[in-house]
Structure 1
Amino acid sequence: MGKYDVAAYVWPAYTGRDKRSLMFWPEGMGEWQSVKNAVKKFPGHSWPRKPLWGYVDEADPYVMEMEIEAAVDHGVNVFIYDWYWFDGRPYLENCLNEGFLQAKNRDKMKFYLMWANHDVNYTWDIRLSWEQDTTIWKGGVDREEFERICRRIIHKYFVQPNYYQIDGEPVFQIYELGILIDGLGGLENTRDALNWFREETIKAGFKGLHLQLTAHGGVPNLSGLDKESAKAGGDIGTFLGFSSVTHYQFVHITDIDRDYEDILADVEKEWEKIGRDYAIPYFPHISVGWDNNPRFTGLRQGIVKNNSPQAVKKGFEMARAYADSHPKQPPLITVNSWNEWTETSYLEPDDLYGYGYLEALKEVFKEE
């Protein structure tokens, strides 16, 4: 690993191998279907965009070998896989299990999981994506289901030799804290469940468990989450035993329907606020952009403007400066993302900027 651990989120939907994905993308190529069929929504709209590598199957180990080489060469040395569990079983694990973990050069790249435990509606299905109020799958789980999930994660993923650790503890990120708490039945029950998860991880031979919280517009305080908040006290990360916090997307921090460099100013203020208000370390996050119009037939408002590689490079420099100014914590930076094409926030090369985003990242983080 280099001086910095640059961790890019991976959206594992660019394959048709999970049969449940056919309900959203019946062409059998995963969400590449929405990328391939995307159209311009207004004059000057930068869509449609095309991947320079083509509509590749990212559950193919030969494809992932190529992507690992490109990532590492440009300074990305950790993948954070979005990981799903719905209706009692995993969803979209193919890219990780059949692609990344079967790649011959997987040892060059660390990985860890972000449990994307959000509810699912029709956003992924362009035919029905405006039906936002219809829930297909619930992200919350009860204690019995939680324990099934954790055992799978420990014994299938934590044990992998290239699973990312901090101080001997495998890192596991949770996306929707409120949904986790609701499913487990409150704060006290959630703390007990997370403590059990940590104990099981230790029993498996690890030093501990590094739980990472995903912030949505700042780290939430206990106030207002449930009736147990009054006796719990303190901030929620400390109370529940989280080890760190980061973000997933700029869209969770501020209004993104404006110039990228204006967004960066708000992002930096948010980092400062989190640093002041919470005891657990914050790992800086940079998003490449936002425009999820490929998922909708009509115009979807909210588009990041002027997020050229040169502009995004300033975000990478901002994250590097934050890491350098916090020498007592690991130099981890999270990036959205490696391949979120339908949200227009990706590092993979396209026909608009080529390898521009990857080259910008390399200029900031790659040690020669």
Structure 2
Amino acid sequence: MGKYDVAAYVWPAYTGREKRSLMFWPEGMGEWQSVKNAAAKFPGHEWPRKPLWGYVDEADPAVMEMEIEAAAEHGVNVFIYDWYWFDGMPYLENCLNDGFLKAKNRDKMKFYLMWANHDVNYTWDIRLSWEQDCLIWKGAVNREEFENACRRVITQYFGQSNYYRIDGKPVFQIYELANLMKGLGGLEKTKDALEWFREETKKAGFPDLYLLLTAYGDTDNLSGLDNGKTIKGGDAVSYLGFSGVTHYQFAHIADIDRDYDEILADVKEIWKGMEKEYGLPYYPHISVGWDNNPRFNGFRPGIVKNNPPEEVKKGFVMAREYADSHPGQAPFVTVNSWNEWTETSYLEPDDRYGYGYLEALREVFKDG
């Protein structure tokens, strides 16, 4: 690993090998279908964008070998795989299991899992994405399903030679704390479940579990989860035994419908309050952009503006400076993302900026 651990989120939907994905993307190429068919929604809209590598199958080891080389060369040394569990079984594991973990050069890249335990509606299906109130899968799980999911994570992933660890502890990130607590039945039952997860991790031979929280702008409000009481987010997170905090997307914490440099100014102020609110190490997060119009036929407001590589580089510098100013914690930074094409927040090369975002990241974290 280099001086910094730069971790990019990976959206594992760019394959047609997961049969349950055909209900959303019937062309059999995963969400590349939406990227390929995307069109501009207004004059000056920066779509369509096309991947320079083409609509590759990321469940193919040869494809992932190419992507690992490009990522490592430019300073990305950790992939954070979005990991799903719906209807009693994992979902969209193909890119990780069949692609990444079978790549010959996988040891050049660490990885860990973020349990994306959100509900699923028709957002992924452009034919029906306007219907936001229709629930397909619940992300919340009861205790039995929680244990089943955690056992799979421990036995199948934690022991992998390139699983990312902090202080020897496998890192596992929770996307939606409120949904986790909802499924498990409140604060006390969630604490008990997480302690069970920690003990099972120790039994598997690890010193402990490094539990990472995805923070949102509304984390303070966890009302209705324990007999209607409102629980302060920071207090709940500390009580539950989390080890650290990061973010997933600027869209979760700031008004993103404006220029990138204005967003960065607000994000920098948000970072200042994170340690005070949570009393835990905060790991700085940078998003490349946001525009999820490729998932919809009509126009969806909310688009990050003026975010070419030279502007995003300022965010990378900001994250590096934060890491440098916190020598007592891991030099760990999260980036959204490696390949979120339908949300227009990706490091992969495209026909607009080429390798610009990757080159900006390398200049800050590898060459700087």
Q: Tell me, yes or no, whether TM beats 0.5.
A: yes
Give the 3 Å change call, closer, same or farther, for CA 29–313 of structure 1 in structure 2: same
Letter in 1 for 2:99: G
Paired position in structure 2 for 1:61 = 61
2:168 counterpart of 1:178: no
Q: CA deviation at 1:236?
A: 1.5
Paired residues in the alignment total: 368
- Residues 187, 229 of structure 1: 8 Å contact kept: no
Q: CA deviation at 1:277?
A: 2.2
Q: Distance in 2 between matches of 1:3 and 1:52?
A: 29
Q: CA deviation at 1:273?
A: 1.0
Letter in 2 for 1:309: P
Task: Write out aligned runs for 1:134-145 (5 A).
Answer: 134-145=134-145
DSSP-derived class of the 1:83 partner? strand
2:319 counterpart of 1:319: yes
DSSP-derived class of the 2:104 partner? coil
Give the 3 Å change call, closer, same or farther, for CA 222–36 of structure 1 in structure 2: closer
Q: CA deviation at 1:222?
A: 5.7
- Residues 222, 234 of structure 1: 8 Å contact kept: no
- Residues 232, 239 of structure 1: 8 Å contact kept: no
Q: Distance in 2 between matches of 1:2 and 1:151?
A: 31
Deviations 1:183-236 (A, max 9, x none): 001100000000000000000000000000000116436666433858999712
Paired position in structure 1 for 2:281 = 281
DSSP-derived class of the 1:36 partner? helix
Paired position in structure 1 for 2:40 = 40
2:195 counterpart of 1:195: yes
Paired position in structure 1 for 2:242 = 242
Q: Distance in 2 between matches of 1:221 and 1:280?
A: 18
Q: CA deviation at 1:111?
A: 0.1
Letter in 2 for 1:212: L
Q: How large is the RMSD of aligned CA atoms in angstroms?
A: 1.5
Q: Distance in 2 between matches of 1:70 and 1:230?
A: 46
- Residues 234, 277 of structure 2: 8 Å contact kept: no
TM-score (norm 2): 0.98
Paired position in structure 2 for 1:305 = 305
Task: Write out aligned runs for 1:111-122 (5 A).
Answer: 111-122=111-122
- Residues 285, 335 of structure 2: 8 Å contact kept: yes
2:304 counterpart of 1:295: no
- Extract unaligned runs of 5+ from structure 2: none
2:10 counterpart of 1:10: yes
Choose 134-143 or 227-236, whichever is displaced more: 227-236
- Residues 245, 283 of structure 1: 8 Å contact kept: yes
Q: CA deviation at 1:245?
A: 0.5
Deviations 1:312-332 (A, max 9, x none): 000000000000000000000
Give the 3 Å change call, closer, same or farther, for CA 221–279 of structure 1 in structure 2: farther
DSSP-derived class of the 1:237 partner? helix
DSSP-derived class of the 2:270 partner? helix
Paired position in structure 2 for 1:337 = 337
Q: Distance in 1 between matches of 2:335 and 2:302?
A: 20
Letter in 2 for 1:39: A
Q: Distance in 2 between matches of 1:159 and 1:306?
A: 42
Letter in 2 for 1:339: N
Q: Distance in 2 between matches of 1:269 and 1:225?
A: 29
Give the 3 Å change call, closer, same or farther, for CA 233–261 of structure 1 in structure 2: closer
DSSP-derived class of the 2:289 partner? coil
Give the 3 Å change call, closer, same or farther, for CA 234–323 of structure 1 in structure 2: closer
- Residues 39, 294 of structure 2: 8 Å contact kept: yes
Letter in 1 for 2:118: H
Give the 3 Å change call, closer, same or farther, for CA 232–257 of structure 1 in structure 2: closer
Q: Distance in 2 between matches of 1:6 and 1:218?
A: 26
DSSP-derived class of the 1:318 partner? helix
- Residues 237, 280 of structure 1: 8 Å contact kept: no
Paired position in structure 1 for 2:347 = 347
Task: Write out aligned runs for 1:201-216 (5 A).
Answer: 201-216=201-216
Give the 3 Å change call, closer, same or farther, for CA 218–231 of structure 1 in structure 2: closer
Q: Distance in 1 between matches of 2:359 and 2:121?
A: 36
Q: Distance in 1 between matches of 2:204 and 2:287?
A: 35
- Residues 220, 234 of structure 2: 8 Å contact kept: no
Paired position in structure 1 for 2:94 = 94
- Extract unaligned runs of 5+ from structure 1: none
DSSP-derived class of the 2:9 partner? strand
Deviations 1:113-172 (A, max 9, x none): 000000000000000000000000000111011100000000000010100000010000
Paired position in structure 2 for 1:71 = 71
Q: Distance in 1 between matches of 2:240 and 2:29?
A: 39
Q: Percent identity?
A: 78
TM-score (norm 1): 0.98
